[in-house]
C-alpha cells in the first residue's frame, strides 16, 4: 500500500532566495560534543549513567570525550566563521553549572559558556542557548526525575541561574529541546536515558516538562532584557495515515495526540486535547496530575517556536491478527513510546533512506511548517534541527564528499523556501549538526555533521555540504 501524500502547490521558482534577515546556523548538544565529563566540577547526568551501563549504547560508546568541544571550542568557532554561519545553537550542560540540580551555580562551569559566547560574539556569530537537551543531573533523576513534580521547579531555578549568568551575552533562549524524546523515549520505550519503561511515568514526565518549560519562561522573562527572545523546540511528527481508511485516520489522530498535541495543546493553546486525555485515561489520572494554575504557567507566550524535522511518520491500524510494524525511527525496544496507542503500526514513507533508516521526504517539512502557520498564524517559526546521517568517510585525498547530504539539504531547504512563499513566517534554519558527534544510543556509528570528526585525533574536516554562504539553496546534485 502507498501512504497518502500531502499536497503542495507552490512553484519552487517563486522564491529565488531566503529573506535577507534569515538566520543561518548549525546546532549541537552539550553531551554529544563537549566531552570533559568530569572537568571543572561537572557531575554525572542521566546520559553519563546510561551510556556507562552495558548494553545501552552501541559499542559501549560514551560521551566522556565526544568531540572535545569543551577544549576545542575556539577552533570550532573559527570553523563556524569559515563556514559562514551566522548563529550557533548550543545546549548547556545542567550538571556542569549546577551539579546536583539544586543550589548555586559552579562558576567554573558558567565560565566555559561565558568563554564560548564571547568567542562567538567576537566572530560575529549569534549565540542561541538551549537550557536542556536531555541531560538531567543524575541526582534529580535519583529523586524521581521528570515524573516528579519538583523537577519542574528545579528547572526554573536553573533557568534563573543561566539568565543571570549569560543574559548579558545571549539574546535567544530555548527552554527544552524535544521534550517528547525526554518523556517518551526516556521513560516509555527506555531507548534513551534514564532508560525507564513506565507508561504512567511517561505521561507524568510530559506534563512536568511542560510545566518546567512554563516556569522557566517566567524565570527568563523576569531576569532577561525585554529584547531577549524565548522559545521551545519540539520534534513535531508529521503524521500521515497509510491509507484513506477511517481506521488509519484514527491511528494518525492518536499518534498526533501523543506525539504532538501533548505539547502544542498546553503550550500554544492552554489546554490538553480531550482525545489525548481519553486515550490515556486508563494510564494516568490527569485531574490529579494537572494542578490548578499549571496550564496558565505552561501557556506563557513565547517569541518563536522551534521545529525539528527529519522524516514523516506514516501509521496504520493493523489488521486483526497482523503483527505491528515498528518503523517509527525511534530505536528498537520491546516497550512502546506511544503511550496509550501501542497498537498503532508504523511504516516507512518510502525506500529512500538515510543511514538512520529514516525515509527522506522533504514534503513533510513543508506541510509541517504551513500547517503550523495556518493553526498559529502569529507565531514565528524556526527550523532548529534538520539534517541527515550518511556513511561519510575520508577519501585518499583527505576530503569528505557527501553528495547525498547535499541533495538532502537542497530538497529540505527548498521545502522551507516554499513554505515561506506559502505564508509561513520561518525566521531561520539550523543544520543538525555542526560536528559529527555522540549520536545517543547509536554512539559514534552515525555521522550527521557538516564537519567530519576523526575521534582518535579530534581532527576536523569540513564536508562538501556547505550551504550557508549564499543565503540561497546549494547547487543540486
Q: Which residues are catalytic?
A: 178, 385
Q: Which three cell numbers stand for residue 283?
A: 494510564
Q: Report the alpha-carbon distance of residue 428 to residue 420 in Å, rounded.
A: 11
CA 224 – CA 87 distance, rounded (Å): 20
Q: Residue 444 corresponds to which cell in the numbers above?
A: 559514534
Burial group, residue 350, by CB count within 10 angstroms (0-12, 13-18, 19+) = middle
CA–CA dist 110, 121 (Å, integer): 17
In angstroms, how far is CA 34 from the centroid of its own chain?
17
- Between CA 204 and CA 202 the distance in angstroms is 5
Q: How far apart, in whole angstroms, are the C-alpha atoms of residue 66 and residue 132?
A: 18
Distance separating alpha carbons of residues 4 and 98, to the nearest angstrom: 48
**CA distances to 36, 290, 307 from 43, in Å:** 10, 32, 30
Amino acid at each position: 500500500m502507498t501512504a497518502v501524500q500531502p499536497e503542495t502547490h507552490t512553484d519552487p521558482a517563486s522564491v529565488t532566495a531566503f529573506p535577507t534577515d534569515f538566520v543561518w546556523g548549525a546546532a549541537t548538544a552539550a553531551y554529544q560534543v563537549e566531552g570533559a565529563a568530569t572537568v571543572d566540577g561537572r557531575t554525572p547526568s542521566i546520559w553519563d549513567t546510561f551510556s556507562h551501563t552495558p548494553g545501552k549504547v552501541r559499542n559501549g560508546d560514551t560521551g566522556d570525550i565526544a568531540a572535545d568541544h569543551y577544549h576545542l571550542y575556539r577552533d570550532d568557532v573559527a570553523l563556524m566563521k569559515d563556514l559562514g554561519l551566522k548563529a550557533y545553537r548550543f545546549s548547556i550542560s545542567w550538571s556542569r553549572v549546577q551539579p546536583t540540580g539544586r543550589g548555586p551555580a559552579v562558576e567554573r562551569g558558567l565560565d566555559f559558556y561565558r568563554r564560548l559566547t564571547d568567542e562567538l560574539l567576537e566572530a560575529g556569530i549569534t549565540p542561541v542557548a538551549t537550557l536542556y537537551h536531555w541531560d538531567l543531573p543524575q541526582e534529580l533523576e535519583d529523586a524521581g526525575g521528570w515524573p516528579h513534580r519538583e523537577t519542574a521547579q528545579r528547572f526554573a531555578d536553573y533557568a534563573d541561574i543561566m539568565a543571570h549568568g549569560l543574559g548579558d551575552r545571549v539574546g535567544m533562549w530555548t527552554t527544552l529541546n524535544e521534550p517528547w524524546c525526554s518523556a517518551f523515549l526516556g521513560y516509555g520505550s527506555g531507548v534513551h536515558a534514564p532508560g525507564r519503561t513506565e507508561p504512567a511515568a511517561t505521561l507524568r514526565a510530559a506534563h512536568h516538562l511542560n510545566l518546567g518549560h512554563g516556569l522557566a519562561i517566567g524565570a527568563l522573562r523576569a531576569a532577561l532584557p525585554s529584547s531577549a527572545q524565548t522559545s521551545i523546540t519540539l520534534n513535531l511528527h508529521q503524521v500521515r495515515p497509510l491509507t484513506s481508511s477511517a481506521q488509519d485516520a484514527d491511528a494518525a489522530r492518536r499518534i498526533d495526540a501523543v506525539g504532538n498535541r501533548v505539547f502544542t495543546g498546553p503550550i500554544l493553546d492552554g489546554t490538553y486535547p480531550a482525545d489525548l486525555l481519553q486515550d490515556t485515561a486508563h494510564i494516568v489520572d490527569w485531574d490529579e496530575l494537572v494542578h490548578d494554575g499549571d496550564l496558565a504557567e505552561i501557556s506563557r507566550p513565547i517569541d518563536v517556536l522551534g521545529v525539528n524535522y527529519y522524516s514523516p511518520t506514516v501509521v496504520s491500524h493493523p489488521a486483526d491478527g497482523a503483527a505491528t510494524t515498528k518503523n517509527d525511527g525511534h530505536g528498537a525496544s520491546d516497550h512502546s513510546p506511544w503511550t496509550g496507542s501501542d497498537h498503532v503500526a508504523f511504516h516507512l514513507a518510502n525506500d529512500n533512506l538515510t543511514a538512520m533508516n529514516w525515509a527522506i521526504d522533504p514534503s513533510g517539512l513543508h506541510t509541517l511548517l504551513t500547517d503550523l502557520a495556518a493553526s498559529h498564524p502569529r507565531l514565528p517559526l524556526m527550523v532548529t534541527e534538520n539534517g541527515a546521517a550518511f556513511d561519510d568517510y575520508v577519501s585518499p585525498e583527505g576530503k569528505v564528499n557527501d553528495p547525498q547530504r547535499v541533495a538532502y539539504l537542497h530538497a529540505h531547504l527548498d521545502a522551507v523556501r516554499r513554505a515561506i512563499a506559502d505564508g509561513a513566517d520561518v525566521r531561520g534554519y539550523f543544520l543538525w549538526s555542526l560536528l559529527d558527534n555522540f549520536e545517543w544510543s547509536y554512539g559514534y556509528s552515525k555521522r550527521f555533521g557538516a564537519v567530519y570528526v576523526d575521534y582518535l585525533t579530534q581532527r576536523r574536516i569540513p564536508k562538501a555540504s556547505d550551504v550557508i554562504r549564499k543565503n540561497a539553496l546549494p547547487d543540486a546534485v
